[in-house]
A and B are shown apart, each in its own frame.
Chain A
Amino acid sequence: MKVNSGLEVHGKVAATFLASSIAIIMIGIFTYMRKQLSWLELYPPAGTFSGIWFYTYIIWIVVWIISFVILRHKESVWKFRTWLITFLASIAVSTILIEASLKWSLVFD
């Protein structure tokens, strides 16, 4: 599957990519730091998972609204390929952060 690097991206689409990428990275950061951030325990029966869920989704929606308002009239914001790479990189970073926060020592000990 070849993706043409020259395709221009409208501001509305850029806002979607930007908000999604930031929210996904925040999931990784919050998960990695969940033991230090006690305020993530929003609903104690669900532990810090509740806060990670709630705050990242709030960040996602807020960033989406703000970036949409700012970028909605822009005809071109970066290339399509750049946004795709940014989005995939955010998933990779978040996955690495989440996995790095787990007790892998149990496997290797």
Chain B
Amino acid sequence: MLLHGFLFTFTLMTIAGFVGLLAFSSEQRKGALNTLKVLALITTFFVFLLNITGAYGYVYYRLPQPDSPRTIIKDTLPIAHEILFETMEYLSLIGPIWATMITSLVWHFNEKIFTNNTIRNAMLFLIILAALYALAIAYTGVVPTRIAPLR
């Protein structure tokens, strides 16, 4: 699950790049819009990969064996599975939909994303909220994986 963790870091990095570019650049700056579009696409790609690797790991996590991570976590600290892990598992399904929506809006609005303050502010709000949401979800995964890491 090392890849899963790396993907989350890459996703946060691309989000930071997206926010920085959107907040501090303008459409006059050559290539800003294209960079923004590419960053949005890469972020969405990472979010989908994050989701797929998470689902793949989940199969091994819940194996009906006494040494599976789920069994160990449920025996050690039940709330780590029942509340924290389950929160991460289901809330993370929203991520790819949210990321795709933002990317589709970036591609639709084009240069208006820099010239129209309403659109720019709304996009900044959506992506910053998405990053905070992702961080909160990731945090719920820390405790279970500390008890029984998934390899």
Contact = CB atoms under 8 A, between A and B. Distances in A.
A107 B121 contact: no
A46 B55 contact: yes
A36 to B, nearest CB: 16
Interface residues of B, number: 35
B83 A27 contact: no
A60 B97 contact: yes
Interface residues of A, number: 39
Interface in A1-49: 1-4, 7, 10, 12-13, 16-17, 20, 23-24, 27, 31, 45-47, 49
Interface in B89-128: 89-91, 93-94, 96-98, 100-101, 104-105, 108, 116-119, 121-122, 124-126
A66 to B, nearest CB: 16
A1 B58 contact: no
B67 interface: no
Interface of B: 55, 58-59, 62-63, 78-79, 82-83, 86-87, 89-91, 93-94, 96-98, 100-101, 104-105, 108, 116-119, 121-122, 124-126, 129, 133
Interface of A: 1-4, 7, 10, 12-13, 16-17, 20, 23-24, 27, 31, 45-47, 49-50, 52-53, 56-57, 60, 80, 84, 87-88, 91, 94-95, 98-99, 102-104, 106-107
